[in-house]
Amino acid sequence: MTGALAVYRRELLALWVTPLAWVLLVVFLLLEGGIFYAIVVHFATLPEPSVDSGPLQAFFGQESVLLLITLMLLCPALTMRSFAEERRSGTIETLLTAPVSPSAVVAGKYLALLTTFAIMWAPTLLYVLILGKSGDLDAGTVLSCYLGLLGVGATYLAIGTLMSAMTRSQLVALLLTVFVVFGLFVLGIGEYLLEDGWLRDVSAYLSMGSQMDDFSRGIVDSRRVVLDVTLVACCLFLCTRVVESWSAE
Amino acid sequence: MIEAEHLAKDYGTVLAVDDVSFSVGTGEVVGFLGPNGAGKSTTLRMLAGFLAPTRGRVLLHGFDMQQQPLRARERLGYMPEASPLYPELKVREYLGFRAALKRVPRSKRTAAVGAAMERARVSDVADTLILHLSKGYRQRVGLADALVASPPLLILDEPTAGLDPNQIREVRELVRELGRDHTILLSTHILSEVEAVCGRALVIDRGKLVAEGSIEALLSRGRAGSLRAVVNDPEGRAEAVARAVPGVKELRFAGTPSARDLELEIELMPGRDAGDAAQALTKAWVEAGVAVRALSPAKASLEQVFSALTEPSA
């Protein structure tokens, strides 16, 4: 446990003392700010706002994949260094010869990424504050919006961590992660394209877009939560096995 | 402290380490010698648990590295080749992280980091980014990392590789100092290093252990059968007389230390005792009127032993 904590703290430090997290944060906030502005302007021109649709919902998902696209770029960029850099530079050798288990290393790294992800979203609470000043906001909906965001982010980060363990190159890790999360997104689109049947059901179940959509309306569907938790657990388990397998190379 | 039993590492295309067995006892400072690519790093990585052996097993402090990896590593300070570090951290931050990782209790971490920096002589760069450190400092930060949890056992992979002569001397001093209260296994391809700091050496070549023993024993394996003599020989009889002594195989002029003296190198027949031969030689020369000014067994250098053991033709 102390091992995982030590890894967690070092990862956080490494993420925030290097320019990467800050550059991502700036790009990300500019992008989100722009999207938020566009959405607010759009809703301000609407004559009759409906009950379950508003700027917050639009921002977090409803009928808009802007946020999902940001996540598909942000998460892979955050995770690409994780293991790839340690293996390229050789520091993985000092890490894995310390009295710490591979699962603790994976857990520490992943939780540090998740924390960084959460920190990056913290400034968007300002948007919520701004919206709350000028209109009514349901606290439950706000909470479910952020829960949905955390679920999708956690999934993408777990995929990214696994991909980072697959290669020594950060670039390859980035591309692999983008490929997988984009693949997942495309699978989700099937919900709107396919005819009724089991394939469409699978698509709907796996759709991260629909997840954001549901959560942004304040619908917390346990199936979505189960999916996220399952994907995260699978990726981290596989990642641990990959780390263990390096000793047999 | 270290037990290596029939270690083998098969990389598929190469058998990097082939059935290597040895042990290192408490308090020993052992040199692990071999040419580049002989399998030194692979062996040390197996000892530290970074690589799993294809066959055989490793015991550290009696714990099997495969069965109980965390227990086995708990009291080990391992410094990998080239000492990889995180460039974005400061030395103090890095060592604090390593101390936490090695389960140094929180209350003792600051003191442990301070003591390790003191011993490895990196206190003056405690708040410098590792990125900005010279190679010598990085190497010593790696040593400080190995020391931070005060493990009784150190495994150091080429601690002086890539350093300049002054830095090599410093690291060597440090290793010698550490040897007083640690068990150390260090690899190197620099022989003077082993002679300077180690009591015993293991020689590995092409994945196989080719020799093992104290430095003296290894040296005597080399060319024990040769003598070096300085004679005063105005009548020029020394050579002919020496050749007639039983056991003398070859004789060479090695120089003229002074105007009157002559230095000779005498190679003996294999299996001849150097002491007996020296005695017979002295007697023969004295009887022939050759003044013997010095006579000693020629000491083979570790370099010669090393090349004799590891050269393909040998």
pLDDT tens track for B24-67: 999 999 999 888 888 899 999 999 999 999 999 999 999 999 99
Q: Nearest by CB to B73, from A13, A17, A98: name it.
A: A98
Whether residue A118 has pLDDT greater than 60:
yes
pLDDT recorded at residue A58: 80
pLDDT digits (tens, 9 = 90+) for B278-297: 888 888 888 888 888 888 87
Asked if A249 has any chain B CB less than 8 Å from its own CB, the reply is yes
Is the Cβ pair B52, A247 closer than 8 Å? yes
Asked if A94 has any chain B CB less than 8 Å from its own CB, the reply is yes
Tell me the residue range of the domain where A234 lies: 2-248
Average of per-residue pLDDT across B107-131: 94
Q: Nearest by CB to B86, from A91, A99, A248: name it.
A: A91
Q: For chain B, give every residue range classified as CATH 3.40.50.300.
A: 2-220
A24: left (phi over 0), alpha (psi -120 to 50) or beta: alpha
User: Could you tell me which residue, B142 or B257, shows the higher pLDDT?
Assistant: B142
| Inter-residue contact A123 to A140 (CB < 8 Å) | no
CA distance B110 to chain A (A): 15
- What φ, ψ does residue A160 adopt, rounded to 5°? -65, -40
Class of B226-297 per CATH?
A: alpha beta
CA distance B202 to chain A (A): 23
Which residue type occupies A114? L
Of A26, A161, A23, nearest in space to A82 by CA: A161
The three state secondary structure string of chain B is: CEEEEEEEEECCCCEEEEEEEEEECCCCEEEEECCCCCCHHHHHHHHHCCCCCCEEEEEECCEECCCCHHHHHHCEEEECCCCCCCCCCEHHHHHHHHHHHCCCCHHHHHHHHHHHHHHHCCHHHCCCEHHHCCHHHHHHHHHHHHHCCCCCEEEEECCCCCCCHHHHHHHHHHHHHHCCCCEEEEEECCHHHHHHHCCEEEEEECCEEEEEEEHHHHHHHHHCCEEEEEEECCCCCHHHHHHHCCCEEEEEEEECCCCCEEEEEEEECCCCCHHHHHHHHHHHHHHCCCEEEEEEECCCCHHHHHHHHHCCCC
Is the Cβ pair B50, A93 closer than 8 Å? yes
pTM across the whole model: 0.84
The total of structural domains in chain A comes to 1
Is the Cβ pair B101, A6 closer than 8 Å? yes
Residue A49: count of CB within 10 angstroms of its CB: 11
Q: Tokens 């020629």 belong to which residue?
A: B298
pLDDT recorded at residue A79: 95
A65: helix, strand or coil: coil
Residue A91: count of CB within 10 angstroms of its CB: 17
User: Could you tell me which residue, B199 or B129, shows the higher pLDDT?
Assistant: B129
pLDDT digits (tens, 9 = 90+) for A60-106: 876 667 788 888 989 999 999 999 999 999 999 999 999 999 999 99
Q: Nearest by CB to A2, from B86, B87, B103: name it.
A: B103
The CATH classification of domain B2-220, taken from the options 3.40.50.720, 3.40.50.300, 3.40.228.10, 3.20.20.150: 3.40.50.300
Asked if A90 has any chain B CB less than 8 Å from its own CB, the reply is yes
Q: Nearest by CB to B85, from A9, A18, A91: name it.
A: A91
Asked if A247 has any chain B CB less than 8 Å from its own CB, the reply is yes
pLDDT recorded at residue B314: 40
* Widest Cα–Cα separation across chain A: 66
